[in-house]
Amino acid sequence: QKEVEQNSGPLSVPEGAIASLNCTYSDRGSQSFFWYRQYSGKSPELIMFIYSNGDKEDGRFTAQLNKASQYVSLLIRDSQPSDSATYLCAATTGGFKTIFGAGTRLFVKA
Amino acid sequence: DTGVSQNPRHKITKRGQNVTFRCDPISEHNRLYWYRQTLGQGPEFLTYFQNEAQLEKSRLLSDRFSAERPKGSFSTLEIQRTEQGDSAMYLCASTQGNNQPQHFGDGTRLSIL
């Protein structure tokens, strides 16, 4: 069974701090990786995607991918209370099959 | 771009009834996905269409579930003889091409009494 694993949290950080969210995946054939944010009762919203090893930055968000270690991470700089949500990591294999982790709950304290 | 649209937003029904959900993807997207999500879990893959062809269906999906995408536009997901365990959020997503991000609709929340 191909899996994506995340720590369920909650991860609690003070406002203005860096939040670090981690994810591992089991299928070495995975080609693309995504981070989604999901507020309670809402649907997932795309935050970042990354295809190549290394870092990708977009505003306060940085995604990191290490295919050798089968590891993906998301850093959120200058965390805000509005960032409090569940963050879903996802990996796509074969161009179309996307497997989601169970998500990490992030709580940013004001 | 009006986004992915799903309806109804909420469905409450008695056990044993049939329900049907609709999804309208982003117009230029040729790929459409259905997922099921329960509390504390990530979206669980149910099925996938490329245009009108249903290319994969999860082995977790029982024979009570069926999905269609006539003409490669909107899609419907039908659950027959609903059971308590079918209570969940049913999410639709669409995308264009390989390895691209999926865009989700607001989901249909199903509650079985």
Are the Cβ atoms of A96 and B48 closer than 8 angstroms?
A: yes
pLDDT tens figures, B36-89: 999 999 999 999 999 999 998 888 778 999 999 998 899 999 999 999 999 999
* Residue B1 confidence (pLDDT): 55
Residue among B112, B87, B102 at smallest CA distance from B30: B102
Distance between terminal CA atoms of chain A?
40
Percent of chain A scoring above 70 in pLDDT? 99
C-alpha distances in Å from residue B95, one per residue of A23, B27, B33:
23, 10, 9
Are the Cβ atoms of A34 and B105 closer than 8 angstroms?
A: no
Are the Cβ atoms of A8 and B42 closer than 8 angstroms?
A: no
| Residues in A touching B105 (Cβ below 8 Å) | 43
Instruction: Note whether A107 contacts B: Cβ–Cβ < 8 A.
Output: no
Q: Could you tell me which residues come within 8 angstroms of residue A104 by beta carbon, excluding any fewer than 6 positions away?
A: A6, A7, A8, A9, A10, A11, A21, A22, A86, A87, A89
Backbone angles phi, psi at B4, to 5 degrees: -85, 130
Distance, CA of A77 to CA of A74 (rounded, Å): 10
pLDDT tens figures, A81-91: 999 999 999 99
DSSP reduced 3-state for A38: strand
Q: pLDDT grade, residue A1 (50/70/90)?
A: low
List A residues 69-88 in contact with B (Cβ-Cβ < 8 A).
88
* Residue A82 confidence (pLDDT): 97
Percent of chain B scoring above 70 in pLDDT? 99
